[in-house]
Amino acid sequence: MNEKSSPLVAALCECVGAAQVLTDPDALAPYNADWRGYYHGSALAVVRPGSVAEVARVVRLAAAAGTAIVPQGGNTSLCGGATPSADRSQLIVSLTRLKRVRAIDAQNATMTVDAGLTLAEAQAAARAAGFLFPLSLASEGTCQIGGNLSTNAGGTAVLRYGNMREQVLGLEVVLASGEIWDGLRGLRKDNTGYDLKQLFIGAEGTLGIITAAVLKLRPLPRSSATALLAIPDPTAAVKVLQRLREAFGDRLTGFEVMARICLDFVIRQVPGTQDVLPGHDWYALMQLDDSAAGAELQGALEPVLGSALEADLVVDATIAQSETQVLALWALRENVSEAQRHEGYSIKHDISLPVSSIPEFLTRAAAQLSVAFPGARFVSFGHFGDGNLHYNLSEPVGADGAARDAFRNGQPVANRVVHDLVHAYGGSISAEHGVGQFKREEIKRYKSALELDLMRLVKNALDPQGIMNPGKVL
């Protein structure tokens, strides 16, 4: 059947305009696949409402037709959380046209924005008003605020500012009934009942569609220091992190750790990349920020690093002397994921652990996986300061078709080794990427039956028809 002739699609065209309802296969293609190309679906249509009122009308139409909805922002999900099923039964609701900065309240240090605003646009709006919006991700030019909220995004500044959950004061949400919940309150204290916004943050669109948010704004840093440290091993990284925390407190914004292979990938795959500190096994990228003008952070950092060098916790170090050097150092970290894409198939894990457990986890995981995956390349990097590790395996160098297939087919084995170890250390199998389709079955192994039952109770209460992003999370 021609989708344009279906009663639902015809009603959607009348609701938002025919130009904003896509059914042509070529037009649907970018929406039907995830960023990694791992998941491929086939939507009935993509509808692009231009206001919260239109989102609400779209949801009411879908609910009346019994059609499932897949909310989609920048489509940068790494777990298939925004990819539809393959049977053309689901409607993608794209938030790309909801891009307003609704208000900036400088005296309250808040900003109210639409969910379709990209993270980079939100950062720029805050900066233009003299503030910082601190969430920072490699995909910030594409990912959207609604998606950041739906996955409780983390990034490189969680150590100081927290995940997306900590950046939000209020939400506006279109519920599965098509009702609009207006929770856009810029209050830091409100004890008048359940904190309903927290239900929708991290829910991956399974409880409702976030259409706007009140975000906290922070003072712009006026002083900073960025350094790349060569370190002997992850155990030394834990000790260096402790020293930096003791010396600088919450002025320590980021502490990222990378195995040497991460830099090798970036240097090989990203033209113009400089190998700043060659020849070491592990690296830590750190940043200090202070909102006070004239803070001598670099001068304060040098003796701390000197002491770490004397204690053999740091082997070598370079401190950025210009904004160009700062950007170059951060590019080493931010380009790891993109560079790895060009190194063949990879088995990815987004995990969190107590920082103190990371070195032992790395040792035990490598020992077990080396037996199961001979020749696999261990690509470990992440937000070490908050315990979030991206623990990936890249296929062996020179793997032919059969070897590549064997590597791919071994993903469940790798997942079991990694996730069982993570669970044994009291960690989480999903730190910042969400559950989506990718880990929907995995969480059943690690969450208690009671936790899952409680989640289903919430889901059934808010979405009794089960139309909001079905097949994701639960």
- What is the SS3 assignment for 382-420? EEHHHCEEEEEEECCCCCCHHHHHHHHHCHHHHHHHHHH
pLDDT digits (tens, 9 = 90+) for 121-142: 999 999 999 999 999 988 899 9
Q: What is the pLDDT of residue 297?
A: 95
**Residue pair 50/8 in contact by the 8 Å Cβ criterion:** no
Closest C-alpha to 429, from 355, 348, 366, 350? 350
Strands 90-94 and 68-72 come out as: parallel
Q: According to the CATH classification, is domain 101-219 in 3.30.465.10?
A: yes
Q: How far, in Å, are 14, 43, 63, 69 from residue 21 at the CA level?
A: 10, 12, 17, 14
**Residue pair 355/238 in contact by the 8 Å Cβ criterion:** yes
Positions in the chain whose pLDDT score sits under 70: 1-5
Structure tokens that stand for 110 in this block: 């808040």
Domain 3-94 CATH class label = alpha beta
Give the residue extent of every domain in the chain. Answer: 3-94, 101-219, 223-337, 344-439
**Residue pair 210/172 in contact by the 8 Å Cβ criterion:** yes
- Whole-model pTM over 0.75: yes
Instruction: Please give the Cα distance from 436 to 34 (Å, whole number).
Output: 11
Handedness of CA 200, 203, 204, 205 (dihedral sign): negative
* CATH fold match for the domains 223-337 and 344-439: yes
Amino acid code (one letter) for 355 = V
Q: How far, in Å, are 103, 228, 314 from residue 307 at the CA level?
A: 47, 16, 9
Domain 223-337 CATH class label = alpha beta
Q: What is the pLDDT of residue 5?
A: 62
Q: What is the CATH number of domain 344-439?
A: 3.30.70.2740
Task: State CA 200 to chain mean position distance.
Answer: 16
Structure tokens that stand for 305 in this block: 């690093």
